[in-house]
């Protein structure tokens, strides 16, 4: 059976340019990029080329990009670095943040909840109130760039401005947004830390980056070597980094804007398909959202059988229901918004999405939901 993939927000297929770059490098001689011999210099040059490609897409100088094993490591490094410089304080975090953000914070510090509205958007006034509750003890504020489950964009610039006035560093999880919308970070008022991952935009899994504010020096999470200018110890994942750079380079120029426009048109079409069915509602902001993610509530049926029913039809989608993922708990994102995770359905498109994917979903969705509702009597 032919498969149709509408779960790019979980992970996106490897772009051909990234796959070709990795294959070519796999046939190259080995070398430690920390060595001065020719083999080492060749590897170092390849890493720095990839770093520059990633930095170009981020809109920052390459020296601000610390290459990591992915956004989860970058998040942990940001939390660790902030608490090292501001020990003993609380961390401000909304319930809609990714589990890596919430869990890494809760392991190391008291967490003060930042409220969100019914679309999952952080209230900057709520950040001010949380800062007042934390008093002088605040060590870090998290503000995701956009939500990974419903796509709602966040008021990052306003939150950063308020935190800067309060003297509290800010971490932005941009894993969901990077490679799907422009992130122009080359500003003094930008966040102190920003984390991204390669596999969300068509790069290889197992590689990402932590972007540091201009001039910021932090204590590394990993020690034991001077890689990444002393900011992250450990032998570099050369193949992954090269693939990351190639995937970022595929979005250079106007390619990012073109892909974003195509993604918006496709998620708009998916929205029309879903909302044509009785008892469906869009979850998250319908307008101020990432172009490639839409989320819906479906009344009368649980999410897990909808996901499984679509899977039998060859269509891959995702749900915030605990039963539909590896988690034992329903989505805290949807719970924080006041939505029902057990009836949620997330659809996400990407660089490889075609009209056939949308047509397959449109042909299957109404029938699957109708059959499940009939079973409930």
Give me the CATH number covering residue 342: 3.90.1150.10
Lookup: tokens for 148: 């990974």
Lookup: tokens for 194: 């920003």
Nearest partner of 6 among 320, 361, 366, judged by Cα: 361
Same domain flag for 299 and 331: yes
Same domain flag for 242 and 269: no
Same domain flag for 218 and 317: no
Last residue of a domain, one of 249, 273, 298: 249
Same domain flag for 317 and 264: yes
Calculate what percentage of the chain has a pLDDT beyond 70. Answer: 95
Range 239-255 average pLDDT:
97
pLDDT of amino acid 186: 59
Whether the predicted pLDDT of 205 surpasses 80: yes
Give the total number of structural domains in the chain. 2
Q: Specify whether the CB–CB gap between 154 and 173 falls below 8 A.
A: no
Give dist(CA 314, CA 317) in Å, integer: 10
Whether the predicted pLDDT of 328 surpasses 60: no
What band does 112 get if pLDDT is binned at 50, 70 and 90?
A: very high
Same domain flag for 137 and 229: yes
**Cα 288 to chain center, whole Å?**
16
What band does 132 get if pLDDT is binned at 50, 70 and 90?
A: confident
All residues at 6 or more sequence positions from 222 whose CB lies less than 8 Å from its CB, including other chains: 77, 232, 233, 234
What is the torsional sign of CA 41, 46, 48, 49?
A: positive
Last residue of a domain, one of 195, 218, 249: 249
**Cα 135 to chain center, whole Å?**
30
For all residues of the chain together, what is the average pLDDT? 93
Give dist(CA 348, CA 10) in Å, integer: 8
Pairing type for strands 315-316 and 4-5 reads parallel
Same domain flag for 149 and 259: no
Catalytically annotated residues: 323
Give dist(CA 181, CA 142) in Å, integer: 20
Q: Specify whether the CB–CB gap between 345 and 317 falls below 8 A.
A: yes
Range 366-370 average pLDDT:
96
> What is the domain-level CATH number for residue 181?
3.40.640.10
Residue with more model confidence, 64 or 323:
64
Same domain flag for 35 and 127: yes
Nearest partner of 283 among 344, 329, 342, 330, judged by Cα: 344
**Cα 232 to chain center, whole Å?**
21
What band does 360 get if pLDDT is binned at 50, 70 and 90?
A: very high
- Residue ranges in 154-302 assigned as alpha helix (H): 156-166, 227-230, 238-249, 255-275
Calculate what percentage of the chain has a pLDDT beyond 90. Answer: 82
Give dist(CA 126, CA 215) in Å, integer: 29
pLDDT of amino acid 190: 83
Give dist(CA 181, CA 171) in Å, integer: 18
Same domain flag for 143 and 90: yes
Whether the predicted pLDDT of 322 surpasses 60: no
pLDDT digits (tens, 9 = 90+) for 67-103: 999 999 999 999 999 999 889 899 999 999 999 999 9
pLDDT digits (tens, 9 = 90+) for 142-191: 999 999 999 999 999 999 999 999 999 999 999 999 999 998 665 556 89
Predicted TM-score of the model (pTM): 0.94
pLDDT digits (tens, 9 = 90+) for 268-321: 999 999 999 999 999 999 999 999 999 999 999 999 999 999 999 999 999 975
Lookup: tokens for 246: 């190639």
Give dist(CA 60, CA 65) in Å, integer: 8
- Residue ranges in the chain assigned as alpha helix (H): 16-26, 38-58, 71-85, 99-108, 124-134, 156-166, 227-230, 238-249, 255-275, 303-312, 332-337, 355-375
Same domain flag for 263 and 240: no
Give dist(CA 331, CA 98) in Å, integer: 10
Give dist(CA 363, CA 84) in Å, integer: 54
Q: Cβ-count burial of 325 within 10 angstroms (0-12 exposed, 13-18 middle, 19+ buried)?
A: middle
Same domain flag for 288 and 205: no
pLDDT of amino acid 325: 54
Same domain flag for 100 and 219: yes
Last residue of a domain, one of 202, 218, 249: 249
pLDDT of amino acid 28: 85
Structural domain including 123 reads 16-249
Q: What is the DSSP letter of 108?
A: H
Same domain flag for 220 and 353: no
Range 51-61 average pLDDT:
96
Range 251-268 average pLDDT:
98
Pairing type for strands 65-68 and 4-5 reads unpaired
pLDDT of amino acid 342: 86
């Amino acid at each position: 059976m032919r498969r149709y993939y509408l779960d790019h927000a979980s992970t996106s297929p490897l772009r051909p340019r990234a796959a070709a770059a990795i294959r070519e490098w796999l046939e190259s001689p080995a070398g430690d990029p920390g060595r001065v011999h020719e083999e080492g210099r060749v590897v170092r040059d390849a890493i720095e080329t990839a770093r520059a490609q990633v930095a170009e897409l981020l809109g920052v100088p390459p020296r601000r990009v610390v290459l990591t094993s992915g956004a989860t490591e970058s998040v942990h490094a940001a939390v660790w670095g902030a608490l090292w410089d501001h020990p003993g304080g609380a961390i401000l975090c909304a319930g809609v943040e990714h589990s890596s953000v919430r869990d890494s914070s809760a392991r190391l510090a008291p967490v003060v909840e930042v409220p969100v509205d019914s679309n999952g958007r952080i209230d900057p006034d709520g950040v001010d109130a949380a800062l007042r509750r934390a008093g002088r003890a605040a060590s870090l504020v998290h503000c995701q760039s956009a939500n990974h489950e419903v796509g709602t964009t966040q008021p990052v610039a306003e939150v950063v401005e308020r935190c800067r006035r309060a003297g509290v560093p800010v971490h932005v999880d941009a894993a969901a947004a990077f490679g799907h919308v422009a992130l122009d970070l080359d500003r003094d008022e930008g966040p102190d830390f920003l984390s991204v991952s390669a596999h969300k935009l068509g790069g290889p899994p197992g590689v990402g980056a932590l972007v540091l504010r201009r001039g910021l020096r932090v204590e590394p999470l990993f020690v034991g070597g001077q890689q990444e200018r002393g900011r992250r110890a450990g032998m570099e994942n050369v193949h992954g980094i090269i693939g990351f750079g190639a995937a970022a380079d595929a979005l250079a120029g106007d390619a990012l804007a073109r892909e974003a426009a195509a993604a918006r048109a496709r998620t708009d079409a998916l929205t029309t398909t879903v909302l044509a069915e009785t008892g469906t509602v869009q979850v998250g902001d319908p307008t101020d959202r990432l172009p490639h993610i839409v989320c819906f509530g479906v009344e009368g049926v649980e999410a897990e059988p909808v996901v499984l029913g679509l899977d039998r039809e060859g269509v891959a989608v995702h749900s915030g229901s605990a039963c539909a993922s590896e988690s034992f708990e329903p989505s805290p994102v949807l719970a924080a918004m006041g939505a029902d995770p057990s009836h949620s359905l997330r659809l996400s498109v990407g660089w490889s999405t075609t009209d056939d994917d949308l047509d397959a979903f449109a042909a299957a969705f109404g029938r699957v939901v109708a059959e499940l509702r009939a079973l409930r009597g």
